[in-house]
Amino acid sequence: MSLLDGVIQELGVVALAKEDNSHFRVLNNQCSWFDDLLRSLGCILSEDSSSISCDALCNAFPFIENFLIDAKDIWNSSNQQTIRSGIWTELDQKNNEYQLEARACCIQGEAVLLIENHTPTFFKYQGVYQKARDIALLNEKLISELNLRQRQLQSEIERHILQSNSIQQVSDSIQGHTSAVLICQPNGDVEVINKALVDIYQLDPQADLKRTSLLDQWIAEAEKVYPELKRVIEKGSYWEGEFESKNASGITRWVRLTIGPIKEYDGSISHYVCVANDISEFRNMNDSNSSEHGYDFTTHLPNRRHFWRHINNLAESVRSDEYGMALMYIDLDYFKRVNDDLGHQAGDFLLSTIATRISRCVKYHDFVAHLGGDEFVVVMQYVEDIALLQLVAERILAAVRESLFVNEQSISMSASIGIATTFDARFEPGDLVRQADLAMYAAKELGKGQARFYEIHMEHNIPHKLQRERELIDALEKQEFVLHFQPQISISGKESVRAEALIRWQHPAHGLLAPGDFIAIAEESGLIIPIGTWVLKQACRVGADLIGRHQQTSITVNISAKQLKHPGFYDTLVQCLSESQFPASLLELEITESCFLEDMEIVISLLNRIRQLGVTIALDDFGTGFSSLNYLRKLPVDYLKIDRSFIQELKVDHESQAITASVIKLAQKLNIRVVAEGVETLEQFDFLRRWHVDFVQGFLFYKPLPLNVLQESYCTIRTLNDENKLADS
Amino acid sequence: MTKVIAKKICMVGPFAVGKTSLVRRFVESIFSDNYMTTIGVKISKKIVEANDYQVNLMIWDIEGVDVFTSLKPSNLRGAAGVLLVLDGTRPKSIDVADDIYKTLREYLPDVPVVCLLNKSDLDIDWKLESTDIQKLEASGMTTIKTSAKTGENVEQAFQILVDEMAQNSEGSVLL
C-alpha cells in the first residue's frame, strides 16, 4: 500500500464521480468499509469495482437518494459550492453502526459525491452534544422546579395572610427566604419586603424601603410583553410572567414574577403578594437569541456555548502548524465554600472581578470564556514557545490570588490551572478540552493554587475526585477514620471538660489527612451522610467511654447542612445516643449558618426537637456567612462560635475588636454562650477574657489531640479551667 | 395478492423526548433507560398492514431540535406522514412543538401529523394539562399518550398514522 493509499484509508473517504444519469465512477478503492457495507446491504459494485449504478446506491442508502436531489442543484450550478448531507447512521447485517456523511461538489468540472465514514470519531463528537443536552435537560428541570416552588411560596404566603390576618407574622417567616417577596397595598405602599428582594434589586438597606414600591416599575417593565398585566391584577386575578427588569444600579436582569391579590370579604383587594426570582442565568442559557452572542451575564465573558463554537471554528479553520494552540482550564479553589458563606451576590461579584483579572493577563487576540460556575478557559493561538505559557499561567494565578473586598471582608482566592497544547493544524476540540481538564485535576491534586501541563500518563489515572470518592467508600469500610479532640478551655471556670471532635483520615498512602483534603468531596458525593453518621456514633461511644474512666467530657460534633437536612438525621441521632448511653446533655452539635439558608422554619423546628432531647446546639463560624445579629435571636442555639478570622484580626483590626465585642455582648443578653476559636496568642486571650467569653479554643492551649493524649491531658485541662477561674475572679 | 409499497415517515420533536426509544420499541421491541442523543438521521424499517396493502415503513428518526440543531427541511422531503413526539413531563417541549409544527406545515402541508405525548409511564411527573392537549389537537394533529418504556400505545400510534396516511391518499394509487 502506498503512502497515499494509507492516507485515504485513514481519512475514510470514498469519492464517486457522476458518469451519466445512471452511474457513478468509483474514484478510489482504499476504503474496504464501503465495499463491506454495500455487500452487507445487498448492493453490488460492477465486476471490476470501478462503478456503481445510481439505483443500486439509492437502494442501499435511501438517505443518499434524498441527498442527491440537493446534490444535483450544486452539480448543475456554476458556482463552486459544496454541500453536506449531515450525518446519518447505517446498520450492516451484523448490526454494526456506520456514521456517514455525504458531500456534493464539483471538482475540475466533474460532479463528485464524497462519502465520509465518521464512525471512528463519532462517539467523541456525540459526547459533546450529549453533555450539552444533558445540561439543557437539567436546566429545564431546574426551571420547572423553580416555577413550582415559586407558586407554592406564593400560595403559602397568601394562605398565611388569610389565616393569621397578620402581615407582621408573614414578614418574619419570609425574611430568610431566597425568593424575593414584596407585599404591598393596591396603591403600591410597601408593607413587607425581604432581604432577597433588597439583594436582587440592590436596594439601599438604609433607605426607607416602605417607600420603595417596585409594583409600578414591574408593571411598566412587564407590560411591554404582557400588555394585559394591569387589567388582570386589578380584576383580582393571579398573574405570572417573565420579563427584563432593571435594578437600582441600572443593570437589567431577567425576573420571573408572580402577583397574587389578597381580597377582603367584600371582594375588594387589600394587598398584592409579589414573589420574584432572578432567572437571568437560566434565560441566558436557554435564549437562542442571546446564544448568538453567548455571553455570561455575571462576568460578561463568552459563555460555554460561545466557547464551543469558537473552538470548533478554530478546529475547522485552516491554520498553519508553525504556531501552536493552547487551552488553559481554570478552576477556582474552594469557590463553593465562599459562595455558600458569603451569599450568591457576593459570589457573582467575585466571579466578575476574577474574570476581569484573567482577561487582563492575556493578549487581546486570546479568547477567555466563563464556562459557568467557577470554571474559566483561555484559548491562546500563535503559541511559539510552551515556556511562555507557564509565565501566563503564573500571571493568572497571581492575579487571582490578589486579595479582594467582598462584604467588607478581605478575601484571597486561588485557582488551579490545567494546560493542554497542540501544534497540529487540525485538532479535536473535545480532546484538547479533556486534556486541559485532566491537567487541572492533577493541579488540584498537587495541592491547588498551581498550574500543570497535560501529560499522557494523566489519561491512565482516574481523575482525583473519583479516586477520592472510591477511597472514601473504602475508608468507611476499612475504618480508616479517626477522631481527634480539641479541648475548649473555660474562662468562667465553671465547666467540666469540653472538646470538639474533629475527623482525621488515616490514609494508607498519604498518612493522616485533615478534613480539608476530603470533606468537600464527601459533601459533593453525598458520602458526608455515612461519614457524618460515623463521626456522631464514634463521638458518643468515646464520650460514654470517658465517663466510664471518670473523665466526663462534653463533646461537640460538626454537622454539615446536608447531614442535618437528611430525613433520617433525627432518628440517627437518637439511635447513637441510646446505643452508646452517652448522656444527651453532654453532646453538642455544631452547625453553620448555611443550614438556615433554605427552609429556615423547618430547620428551626428540627433543632428545637433536638434540644428537647437535651442535646445543645452551637452555631459555628459565626461572622463569615450571612450573620445577622437580628436573626440570631430567632435561632434555637445555645452556643455561638466566633469565627477564627475575627479572632486572628483582633490585635490589628479595631473593627474586628468592635464586632467581636458586640457579638459577645448580644449573645450574653440572649443567654447564648460564646466560644472563640482559633485563639493563638496571649493578646487574643486577654481580649476575650476581658469581654467574658465563655470558652476559648486554639493552639495557644491545645491543638486537636488523639484520644489517648486527651485522656492524658484531662487533669491539665481541668487545672487550666480552674486557673482561669482564679485569674478572672 | 397483497400489494407492497414503501412509505417514508419522519419522527421529529424536541431533543430527549424519546423519539429513538419509540422507534426501538416499535421496530425491535426493546427499551433502554439510558439517554443517548441522536446525531443526524437514523433510518429503520418495519412492515405494517393497511387497507390490504403491505406497507414497508421507512422510519426516519431525526435528531431532536434544540438551540444547536433545527429541523432540516430536506430530511422531511417525500415523507407521507410525521410523528411529532413530545415529552409529557416537560412543558417546555410543547413550546418547541409549536415551531416544529409550523415548519412541518410549511414543507409538508398535506401529510398527516400524529402527536405522541411520550413518557406516560412517568405519571407522577406528568405536566401536560388537558388545555395543552386541546391546543395541539386544535391545530390539526391527532394526539396519543405513549410510553416507549412500557410500550403503551406505541403500536397504536404508528397504526393511527398509517391509517391517516391511507385515508389521506384515498383514491390515489399509492395507498
Q: Cβ(A182)–Cβ(A197) under 8 Å?
A: yes
Kindly state the average pLDDT of the residues A337-346.
69
Residues of A in contact with B8 (CB under 8 A): 62
User: How close B44 comes to chain A (CA, Å)?
Assistant: 9
- Predicted pLDDT of residue A112: 94
Q: Is residue B170 less than 8 Å (CB to CB) from chain A?
A: no
Contact A116, A23 (CB under 8 A): no
- Chain B residues with CB-CB distance to A286 below 8 A: 67
Among A173-177, A387-391, A482-486, the range of highest mean pLDDT: A482-486
B32's grid cell: 433502554
**B-chain residues within 8 Å CB-CB of A130?**
35-37
Which is higher by pLDDT, B102 or A540? A540
Query: Taking 70 as the threshold, does the pLDDT of residue A598 lie above it?
Result: no
How many whole angstroms from its chain centre is CA A637? 29
Q: In this complex, do B66 and A136 lie within 8 Å of one another by their Cβ atoms?
A: yes
Strands (E), chain B: 3-12, 41-50, 53-62, 81-87, 113-118, 142-145
C-beta atoms of A137 and B36 within 8 A: no
Of B67, B74, B127, nearest to A66 by CB-CB distance is B74
Q: Which of residues 290-319 of A touch B (CB under 8 A)?
A: 291, 305
> pLDDT at position A290, please?
40
Q: Is the pLDDT of residue B17 over 90?
A: yes
pLDDT band at A461 (very low <50, low <70, confident <90, very high): low
Locus of grid cell 437535651: A614
pLDDT higher than threshold 50 for residue A726: no
**CB-based contact B92 A137, cutoff 8 Å:** no
Chain mean pLDDT for chain A? 84
Interchain contact, A133 vs B16, CB within 8 Å: yes
Mean pLDDT for B69-86 is: 93
**Contacts across the A-B interface (CB distance below 8 Å):** 68
Cβ separation of B67 and A89 shorter than 8 Å? no
Q: Do A86 and B58 touch (CB under 8 A)?
A: no
Number of CB atoms found within 10 A of residue B94's CB: 21
Residue A591 contacts residue A563 (beta carbons within 8 Å): no
Is the Cβ pair A126, B75 closer than 8 Å? no
Identify all chain A residues contacting B16, using CB atoms and an 8 Å cutoff. Answer: 133, 137
Query: Are B118 and B144 contacting, i.e. CB atoms less than 8 angstroms apart?
Result: no
Q: A387 or A463, which is more confident? A: A387
Q: Which residue out of A64, A67, A87, A122 would a mutagenesis test of the B interface target, given it has the greatest number of B Cβ atoms within 10 Å?
A: A87
3-state helix, strand, coil in chain B (%, to 5): 30, 30, 40
Contact across the interface for A88 and B43, Cβ inside 8 Å:
yes
Give mean pLDDT, residues A619-643: 76
Distance (Å, rounded) from C-alpha B6 to C-alpha B9? 10
State yes or no: pLDDT of B30 exceeds 80. Answer: yes
Residue range A128-151: mean pLDDT, rounded: 83
Contacts of A101 in chain B (CB under 8 A): 40
Interface probe for B, chosen from A72, A133, A307 (most Cβ of B below 10 Å), is: A133
Q: Which residue has the higher pLDDT, A545 or A624?
A: A545
Mean pLDDT, residues A528-544: 94
Mutation pick from B9, B17, B36, B42 vs chain A, by most beta carbons of A within 10 Å, is B42
The pLDDT value recorded for residue B172 is: 46
**Strand pairing report for B113-118 and B142-145:** parallel
Highest mean pLDDT out of A269-278, A601-610, B74-83: B74-83
Q: In A394-405, which positions are buried (b, 16+ CB within 10 angstroms) versus exposed (e)? A: eebbebbeeebe
Considering only residues A629 and A203, tell me which one the structure prediction assigns the higher pLDDT. A203
Whether residue B51 has pLDDT greater than 80:
no
Predicted pLDDT of residue A508: 86
Q: Name the more confident of A383 and A614.
A: A614
pLDDT reported for residue B173 = 39
Tell which B residues from 90 to 119 touch A, by Cβ distance under 8 Å.
Answer: 90-92
Cα separation of A361 and A370, whole Å? 15
Phi and psi at residue A159, in whole multiples of 5°?
-65, -45
Residue B39 with chain A: CB contacts under 8 Å: 87, 99, 122, 125-126, 129
> Which of A420-429, A603-612, A703-712 shows the lowest mean pLDDT across its residues?
A420-429
* Residue B87 forms contact with A (CB below 8 Å): no
Least confident span in A120-124, A466-470, A695-699: A466-470
> Nearest chain B Cα to A129, which residue?
B37
Looking at CA atoms only, how far is residue A89 from chain B in angstroms?
Answer: 5
Work out the minimum CA distance from B39 to partner chain A, whole angstroms: 7
C-alpha to C-alpha distance for B59 and B45, rounded to whole angstroms: 6
Cross-chain residue pair A62–B58, CB shorter than 8 Å: yes
Contacts of B92 in chain A (CB under 8 A): 140, 143-144
Residues A682-686, mean pLDDT to the nearest whole number: 88
pLDDT greater at residue A387 or residue A298:
A387
Query: Which residue does chain B place closest to A61, by CA atoms?
Result: B43
User: What is the band of A157 on the pLDDT scale with cuts at 50, 70, 90?
Assistant: confident
CB distance A133–B67 less than 8 Å?
Answer: no
Q: Are A8 and A28 in contact (CB under 8 A)?
A: yes
Nearest CB to B16: which of A88, A137, A143? A137
Q: What is the 3-state secondary structure (H, E, C) of A471-488?
A: HHHHHHHCCCEEEEEEEE
CA distance A474 to chain B (A): 28
Contact between chains at A144 and B58 (C-beta distance less than 8 A): no
> Which whole number is the average pLDDT over A671-682?
90
For A63, the closest of B35, B43, B68 (CB atoms) is B43
- Ranges A248-262, A492-506, B41-55, B141-155, most confident: B141-155
Inform me whether the C-beta atom of residue A66 falls under 8 Å from chain B C-beta atoms: yes
Backbone phi and psi for residue A205, each to the nearest 5 degrees, phi listed first? -65, -20
Q: Please name the residues in contact with A674: beta carbons below 8 A apart, sequence gap of 6 or more.
A: A639, A640, A641, A642, A663, A664, A667, A668, A693, A694, A695
pLDDT at A642 over 80: yes
pLDDT at position B80 over 90: yes
Work out the pLDDT band at B175, boundaries 50, 70, 90.
Answer: very low
Find the residue in A nearest to B92 (Cα).
A140
Query: From the list B8, B42, B68, which residue is nearest A88 (CB)?
Result: B42
Q: How confident is the model at residue A288 (pLDDT cuts 50, 70, 90)?
A: very low
What is the structure's pLDDT at A175? 83
The alpha-carbon gap from A45 to the nearest alpha carbon of chain B, in Å, equals 23
Q: Which residues pair with B60 in a beta bridge?
A: B10, B43
pLDDT of B170 strictly over 60: no
Task: Give the residue-averaged pLDDT of A709-716.
Answer: 90
Amino acid occupying residue B1:
M
pLDDT at A289: 41
Min distance B68 CA to chain A CA atoms (Å): 9
Q: Quickly state the pLDDT bin for B1 (edges 50, 70, 90).
A: low
Closest listed residue to residue B78, CA positions, set B110, B32, B35 = B110
CA distance B93 to chain A (A): 10
- Measured between CA atoms, the residue of chain B closest to residue A86 is B40
